[in-house]
Amino acid sequence: MGTATSSMSHAAEGLPSKSMTRHLPTAARLLMGLVFFVFGLNGFLNFIPAPSNQPEGAMAFGMAMMKTGYLFPLLKGTELLVGVLLLANRFVPLALALIAPVIVNIFMFHAFLAPAGIAIALILLALELSLAWSFRAAYRPMLAMRATPRA
Give a yes or no: residue 14 inside a domain.
no
CA nearest neighbour of 62 among 79, 50, 77: 50
What per-residue confidence (pLDDT) applies to 15? 55
Domain that holds residue 88: 24-137
| Number of domains the chain is built from | 1
In a domain, 32, yes or no: yes
- Give the distance between the most distant pair of CA atoms in the chain: 69
Residue 72 covered by a domain: yes
| Residues 6 or more apart whose Cβ sits within 8 Å of residue 80 | 36, 37, 40, 41, 43, 44
Question: Does residue 16 form part of some domain?
Answer: no
DSSP summary character for residue 1 = -
Question: pLDDT value at position 147?
Answer: 85
User: What is this structure's pTM?
Assistant: 0.83
143 belongs to a structural domain:
no
Residue 14: the pLDDT is: 57
Residue 12, pLDDT above cutoff 60: no
Within-domain flag for 148: no
User: Is 63 domain-assigned?
Assistant: yes
**59-116 pLDDT per residue, tens:** 999 999 999 999 999 999 999 999 999 999 999 999 999 999 999 999 999 999 999 9
Q: Is residue 147 part of a domain?
A: no
